[in-house]
Structure 1
Amino acid sequence: MREQPPYLRIVDALQQRIASGQWAPGDRLPSRSHLAQEFSVGDNVVRRAQELLISQGILEGRAGSGTYVAEPRQRLRLVRSQAREERGASPFQADMAGLGKRGSWESHTEAKVPAPAEIATRIGIAEGDLCVRTTYEYFANGKPVQLSTSWEPYALTAGTVVLLPEGGPHAGAGVVNRMAEIGITVSHVVEQPEPRHVTDEEASLLGIQRGSLVTHIRRTYFSTEGRPVETADIVVPASLCELVYEVPINS
């Protein structure tokens, strides 16, 4: 019989300690180096085991503090749906309200940021052309659950009342409704999700362990003429949220 990988052996051992009550919810685990010495493995083996348990919601990482047994809770359900965008309200707030939680966010906008090569390709402009960049941190009952960085071509909204996504009379109205205010109809959105490990900066903002798994969504909105009007990088931690896609069927 094929031998079990070392990290799965650590996973089983940690789960048994939690199930037996040796470690209760909220307890801090011994340091990674301590566990590595106890199980006679390298630090990376322990890290991989902890990452798997964090992704399953059994453990949680706290930036600068360590790894803890997670309090029992359901992962937040985030619905990705163009139909929800068109209803006008914030889809994130609607998701949180449906779960009995208060959804909120903080944002920071810079109005003239040169477009990096990848972003320029995604929104159909030249590298270095100016963009409006807005970074977001989303919260459920005050706890961070999602990050996003949005880019819009500066030339598209310059001089209009919707230049700043979170400022002016249409602050927080969303891409679809803001673009409608300047005569642009958004017809569809394309999303490309893929798993990856969190960056150190993202881990700190989300309060999860370094190296944890996240879903990185590259989202781009298009007008009826096929022009990209906004693109964003959305980061959702696997241990905190589950993504559900709602796809309309035209009869």
Structure 2
Amino acid sequence: MGTRPAPYQVVADAFRQAIAEGAWAPGHRLPSRAKLGEEYGVGENVIRRAQELLITEGLLEGRPGAGTYVRERQERLTMTRFPALGHPSAPLAPEGVASWEASSIAKVPAPDAVATRLAITPGEHTVRTAYEFLDSARRPLMIATSWEPMAITGTTAVVLPDGGPLAGRSVVDRMAYLGIEVVRADERTRPVHLDREQGHLLGAAAGSLATLIERTYYDSGNRPVETADLLIPADRWTIDYRLHLTTGQPPH
């Protein structure tokens, strides 16, 4: 006698069938979890787990504040690393990004890992900025969080990346306004699983695979002036690295 499937798996199978048969077409907004729970005779937690499973499989997508939808067929997007450092539209460089939103908070104590990347003392004040990158339908494509030492920008007009005379401009442009030349960006990538909050922001299931890019900008004196975490859902993006080589470089 075989093991009976869990209730959320039974509900997930019913959802798959509704999508496969066209009863739920691409773009269809699912009823509330309470209503689906009544229809299938289960609790809302079972409905949530079924939805999260299908989000992981790419059949559904969550839209923060708007509900859960049958996912439109999407082509993979391409992100080329690196864009030109001084390019004014660098935040919008990734393919498919139509707009972005930012929210900055000053005097945020630097967590230990961030302090290490910025070569400052843990707890030292930073400006933390959260970014959301959206497509033309205002669906989330990726998110990022950056930190800048307030020792560099704290008494200037460009202390907040989303305010002041250079609001929305790149780190390179804002640092140039202060007479600081940004000459290098180091990046480290690693696979991560989205936590519940990250999944909510990206319309993805908690536990979904993503690529984390830890990027740090350096000035001409090798001082870190900004560091950022870019969180990119693995099922949506291909990341290309474009390397400019010069004669005489050894093979790697």
TM-score by length of 1: 0.74
Aligned partner of 2:57 among 53, 60, 66: 53
Matched letter for residue 181 of structure 1? Y
Contact 1:67 1:209 in 2 (8 A): no
Structure 1 CA distance for aligned equivalents of residues 68 and 207 of structure 2: 12
Structure 1 CA distance for aligned equivalents of residues 238 and 92 of structure 2: 16
CA shift at 1:239, angstroms? 2.5
Give per-residue Cα distances to partners, 1:107-136, cap 9 Å, x unaligned. 111121111111111100001111111111
What does 1:104-119 correspond to in 2, within 5 Å?
Answer: 104-119=99-114
CA shift at 1:19, angstroms? 6.6
User: Which residue number in structure 1 is paired with residue 26 of structure 2?
Assistant: 25
Structure 1 CA distance for aligned equivalents of residues 210 and 177 of structure 2: 34
Matched letter for residue 247 of structure 1? L
Matched letter for residue 245 of structure 2? I
Cα RMSD after superposing both structures:
3.6
1:85 counterpart SS class: coil
User: Which residue number in structure 2 is paired with residue 133 of structure 1?
Assistant: 128
Aligned partner of 1:146 among 142, 157, 160: 142
Q: Which runs of 5+ in 1 are unaligned?
A: 1-13, 34-42
Give per-residue Cα distances to partners, 1:83-120, cap 9 Å, x unaligned. 4232x222242444xx5x6x211111112111111111
Contact 1:84 1:91 in 2 (8 A): yes
Give per-residue Cα distances to partners, 1:44-65, cap 9 Å, x unaligned. x9899746523xxx55345699
Contact 2:56 2:205 in 1 (8 A): no
Percent identity reads 43
Give per-residue Cα distances to partners, 1:19-45, cap 9 Å, x unaligned. 7768753466xx9x9xxxxxxxxx9x9
Q: Which runs of 5+ in 2 are unaligned?
A: 1-14, 38-46, 248-252
User: Which residue number in structure 1 is paired with residue 75 of structure 2?
Assistant: 74
User: Which residue number in structure 2 is paired with residue 84 of structure 1?
Assistant: 84
CA shift at 1:193, angstroms? 1.3
Find out whether 1:232 has 2:236 as its counterpart: no
Aligned partner of 1:183 among 179, 184, 187: 179
1:84 counterpart SS class: coil
Contact 1:79 1:246 in 2 (8 A): yes
Contact 2:91 2:170 in 1 (8 A): no
Structure 1 CA distance for aligned equivalents of residues 21 and 51 of structure 2: 22
Give per-residue Cα distances to partners, 1:143-167, cap 9 Å, x unaligned. 1111111101100112222211121
Q: 1:156 to 1:140 in 2, by over 3 A?
A: same
**4+ residue stretches of structure 1 with deviation over 3 A?**
14-28, 45-52, 58-69
CA shift at 1:230, angstroms? 0.5
